[in-house]
């Protein structure tokens, strides 16, 4: 059998933690920032975990992670 390929777009967006959970960057922080409050923008910093319902789909895109 040939090797499984990693979805490269997913590899750029998600990282697998040591515990096996997946982290992702926050959305809604790229543009149209003038109408968003400072508090809202501040809380969009950093990373969060992928929702458990979406985790199996992400893990299938990252077979070797």
Please answer whether residues 24 and 13 qualify as being in contact, where contact means their C-beta atoms are separated by less than 8 angstroms: yes
Q: What is the model's pLDDT at position 24?
A: 98
pLDDT digits (tens, 9 = 90+) for 6-55: 999 999 999 999 999 999 999 999 999 999 999 999 999 999 999 999 99
Q: Residue 11's pLDDT is what?
A: 97
Lay out the sheet containing 14-16: strands in order across.
14-16, 22-25, 47-49
The pLDDT value recorded for residue 47 is 97
Q: What residue ranges define each of the domains in the chain, with the CATH number in brackets?
A: 8-61 (4.10.410.60)
User: Which tokens hold the place of 36?
Assistant: 């968003």
At residue 22, the pLDDT reads: 98
- Tokens standing for 63? 């077979």
């Amino acid at each position: 059998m040939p090797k499984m390929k990693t979805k490269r777009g997913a590899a750029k967006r998600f990282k697998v933690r040591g515990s096996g959970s997946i982290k992702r960057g926050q959305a809604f922080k790229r543009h149209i920032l003038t109408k968003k409050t400072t508090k809202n923008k501040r809380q969009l910093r950093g990373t969060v975990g992928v929702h458990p319902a979406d985790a199996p789909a992400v893990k299938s895109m990252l077979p070797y992670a």
